């Protein structure tokens, strides 16, 4: 069974040779290859090369064409500051006021900002790896992109003070996300993961998520499925217990859950949806590999009779993580429980 | 003096309705209420209610931001020259360390600390450790609060207490919070307290001060 077959079976709750393991290795692939993060996030060829090297090193089931959370906002007009050993940050947002939306247009993914480089990374990864290992692209969720276009504080206040303008901002963000994601699928991604940290219940209340974001995520996932995505994968960090039950309404096939969510609660909230998680990200930096192995084993046991489970970290494996800790998680699925 | 009814102000603040909150505070002043009474019975009381409501499971930043904004608007109206009330529990220096520019959590902490009666000196984001410590010394701070959303700032957090000790400022407490830092322990970060939420941090500071002005 190759990784793709294994993940497909797992998503459909069918038997597979072992539990899939997805290390959320993004910038860590650059550190592992001794490449500056500032180069990694700007050069699609280099990103693909680092991801392939990391795959060869660890032997997990997925590679990621994922730069950082600022690709879309930069393509729309935000200005970034690039830093050698950190992800870039927004220097000035595309919008200074929520009422200025009319001057923005949906970016062309083949031309705007770093989008073409991300597409290049996807194309290289798919041509090198084929259908053995899952090639994952990345888009932001509409809520997160809205907060990245205006800045999170302004965006959240806009939602309350001028819901009409905020709704238009979300509509625009949804359009950007759908276009970018569909082009990633055309370029060879098996699926784009939807990364939506600003939709976390740590940031917005349950009702806000249900009213503003859920239908938009559904539109995004419906479009991706129609474009040929192998599955729909939603990643929202933080204490998502209260909103997990809504994911199936959005068409989510794989639901990431963070370290602070009880795995049994996640199982109860989504009995028929594949879950991936949830080792504490910081533990890849500061724990011993034996602790990672023990935590992996605990999770494998908790999900032993379920099938719909992918062993993973709760969120990104920090770039500075110890390689032996990532390896410990990966090797645990081969040893079984 | 007419009988004072604090309830409408509490409701406006909890609703995050800044315009109504200012109107209610002005009405109370017109009815003879002192500014300090409004802070104690209105603003601090509402922060206590919000604290109780925002357990770790139910904590969301938007709700806190809205209440915090209304609180700051009332404070500004009561004390136009300084958003802090004249009597403080102590000075807290806060910042997001170099390399990290995510300052929403820090801004929320600032609002809550101010509303709870602390004087806050904000060193902003992407702040070098030295600047944070220099400011704490100059401002005679009782504590430093560092917020971090990314794990790469952790080595800097670990330095803060040691540098304070070397500079004979070991009496200044160090508190950490934010999505990345709260995954770590007090020992591994080399701090005095790791706060799960901003309210958690304020409770820790209140313990140190005895909660008294």
Q: Within an 8 Å CB–CB cutoff, is residue A203 touching chain B? A: yes
Span A302-313, pLDDT tens digits: 999 898 999 999
Predicted ipTM? 0.79
Nearest CA in chain A to B99: A86
pLDDT value at residue B88: 82
Task: Please judge whether B154 and A285 are an interchain contact, meaning their C-beta atoms are less than 8 angstroms apart.
Answer: yes
Could you tell me which chain A residue has the CA closest to the CA of B181? A282
Residue B212: partners with Cβ closer than 8 Å, 6 or more residues away:
B89
> Taking CA atoms, what residue in A is nearest to B101?
A89
B147 and B187 assigned to the same domain = yes
Mark whether B41 and B95 lie in a shared domain.
no
pLDDT in tens, A163-197: 999 999 999 999 999 999 999 999 999 999 999 99
Nearest to A203 among B16, B61, B180 (CB): B61
Is the distance from CB of A172 to CB of A106 less than 8 angstroms? yes
Is the residue at B2 inside a domain?
no
The domain boundary, picked from B47, B78, B109, lies at: B78
Per-residue pLDDT of chain B (213 residues; tens, 9 = 90+): 567 899 999 999 998 999 999 999 999 999 999 988 898 899 888 888 887 777 655 678 888 889 889 998 998 898 887 555 566 889 999 999 998 888 888 888 898 898 888 999 999 998 999 999 999 999 999 999 999 888 889 999 999 999 999 999 999 999 999 888 999 999 999 999 999 888 889 999 999 988 655
Q: Which domains are seen in chain A, by residue range?
A: 3-335 (3.20.20.210)
Of B78, B109, B128, the last residue of a domain is: B78
Residues B123 and B69 in one domain: no
The answer to whether residues B110 and B73 belong to one domain is no
Say yes or no: A318 contacts chain B, CB-CB below 8 A. Answer: yes
Q: Do B183 and A281 touch (CB under 8 A)?
A: yes
Mark whether B46 and B150 lie in a shared domain. no
Domains: count for chain B = 2
d(CA A20, CA A136): 15
* Residue of chain A with shortest Cα separation from B187: A286
Assess whether B74 and B95 both reside in one domain. Answer: no
Write down the pLDDT at residue B212: 56
Residues within 8 A of B (CB atoms), A 58-117 only: 83, 85-87, 89-90
pTM of the shown model? 0.90
Find the residue in A nearest to B66 (Cα): A157
pLDDT digits (tens, 9 = 90+) for A235-259: 999 999 999 999 999 999 999 999 9
**Nearest Cβ partner of B62 from A87, A208, A282?**
A208
CA distance linking residue A67 with residue A138, whole number of Å: 8
**Domain match, B147 and B123 both:** yes
Residue segments in chain A with a per-residue pLDDT below the cut of 70? 336-337
- What is the pLDDT, as a whole number, of residue B105? 84
Residue B83 covered by a domain:
no
Angle at A102 between CA A96 and CA A105, to 5 degrees: 95
Nearest to A156 among B65, B152, B183 (CB): B65
Residues spanned by the domain of B34:
7-78
* Per-residue pLDDT at A241: 94
| Residues B138 and B41 occupy one common structural domain | no
Q: What pLDDT, on the 0 to 100 scale, is given for residue B134?
A: 97
Query: Is B100 domain-assigned?
Result: yes
B84 domain-assigned: no
- Sheet (strand A62-64) strand order: A21-22, A309-313, A274-279, A254-257, A233-235, A191-195, A134-140, A62-64
Residue A157 in contact with partner chain B when CB distance is under 8 A: yes
In a domain, B175, yes or no: yes
A-contacting residues of B 45-74, CB under 8 Å? Answer: 56-57, 59-63, 65-66, 69
Does B203 lie in the same domain as B105? yes
CB A296 within 8 A of CB A311: yes
Is the domain of B49 the same as that of B96?
Answer: no
Q: How far is A85 from chain B (nearest CA, A)?
A: 9
- CATH number of the domain within which B98 lies: 3.40.50.280
d(CA A166, CA A159): 5
> What is the pLDDT, as a whole number, of residue A337?
47
Does B149 reside within a domain?
yes
- Do B96 and B73 lie in one domain? The reply is no
Closest partner residue to A280 among B104, B183, B188, by Cβ?
Answer: B183
B50: CATH: 1.10.1240
Based on the domain organization, do B42 and B136 belong to the same domain? no
Contact indicator for A228, A188 with CB cutoff of 8 Å: no
């Amino acid at each position: 069974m190759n990784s793709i077959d294994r993940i497909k079976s797992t998503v459909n709750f069918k038997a597979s040779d072992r539990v899939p393991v997805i290390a959320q290795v993004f910038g860590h692939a650059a550190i592992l290859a001794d490449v500056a993060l500032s180069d990694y996030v700007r050069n699609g060829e280099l990103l693909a090369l680092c991801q392939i090297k990391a795959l060869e090193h660890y032997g997990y089931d997925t590679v990621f064409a994922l730069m950082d959370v600022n690709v879309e906002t930069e393509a729309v007009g935000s200005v970034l500051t690039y830093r050698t050993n950190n992800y870039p940050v927004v220097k000035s947002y595309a919008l200074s006021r929520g009422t200025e939306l009319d001057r923005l247009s949906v970016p062309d993914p083949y031309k705007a900002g770093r989008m073409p480089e991300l597409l290049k990374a996807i194309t290289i990864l798919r041509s090198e790896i084929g259908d053995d290992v899952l090639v994952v692209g990345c888009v932001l969720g509409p809520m997160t992109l809205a907060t990245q276009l205006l800045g999170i504080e302004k965006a959240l206040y806009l939602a309350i003070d001028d819901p009409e303008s905020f709704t238009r901002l979300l509509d625009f963000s949804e359009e950007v996300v759908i276009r970018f994601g569909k082009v990633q699928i055309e370029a060879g991604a098996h699926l784009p993961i939807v990364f939506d940290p600003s939709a976390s219940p740590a940031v917005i209340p349950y009702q806000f998520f249900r009213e503003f974001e859920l239908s938009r995520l559904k539109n995004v996932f419906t479009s991706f499925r129609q474009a040929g995505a192998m599955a729909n994968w939603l990643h929202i960090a933080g204490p998502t217990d209260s909103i997990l039950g809504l994911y199936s309404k959005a068409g989510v096939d794989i639901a990431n859950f963070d370290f602070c969510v009880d795995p049994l609660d996640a199982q109860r909230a989504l009995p028929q949806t594949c879950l991936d998680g949830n080792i504490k990200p910081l533990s890849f930096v500061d724990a011993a590999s034996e602790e990672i192995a023990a935590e992996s084993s605990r999770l494998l046991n908790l999900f032993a009779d379920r099938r719909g489970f992918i062993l993973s970290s709760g969120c990104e494996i920090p770039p500075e993580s110890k390689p032996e800790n990532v390896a410990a998680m990966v090797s645990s699925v081969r040893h079984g429980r | 003096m007419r009988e004072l009814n604090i309830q409408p102000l509490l409701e406006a603040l909890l609703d995050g309705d800044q315009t109504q909150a200012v109107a209610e505070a002005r009405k109370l002043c017109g009815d003879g209420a002192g500014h300090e009474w409004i802070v104690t019975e209105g603003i601090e009381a509402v922060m206590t209610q919000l604290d109780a409501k925002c357990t770790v499971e139910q904590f969301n930043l938007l709700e806190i931001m809205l209440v915090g904004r209304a609180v700051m608007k009332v404070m500004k109206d009561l004390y136009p020259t300084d958003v802090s009330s004249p009597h403080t529990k102590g000075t807290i220096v806060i910042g997001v360390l170099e390399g990290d520019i995510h300052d929403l959590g820090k801004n929320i902490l600032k609002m809550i600390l101010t509303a709870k009666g602390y004087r806050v000196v904000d060193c902003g984001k992407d702040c070098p450790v030295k600047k944070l410590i220099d400011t704490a010394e100059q401002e005679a701070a009782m504590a430093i609060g560092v917020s971090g959303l990314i794990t790469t700032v952790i080595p800097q957090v670990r330095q803060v207490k040691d540098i304070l000790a070397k500079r004979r400022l070991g009496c200044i407490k160090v508190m950490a919070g934010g999505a990345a830092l709260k995954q770590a322990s007090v020992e591994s970060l080399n701090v005095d307290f790791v706060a799960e939420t901003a309210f958690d941090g304020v409770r820790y500071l209140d313990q140190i001060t005895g909660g008294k002005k």
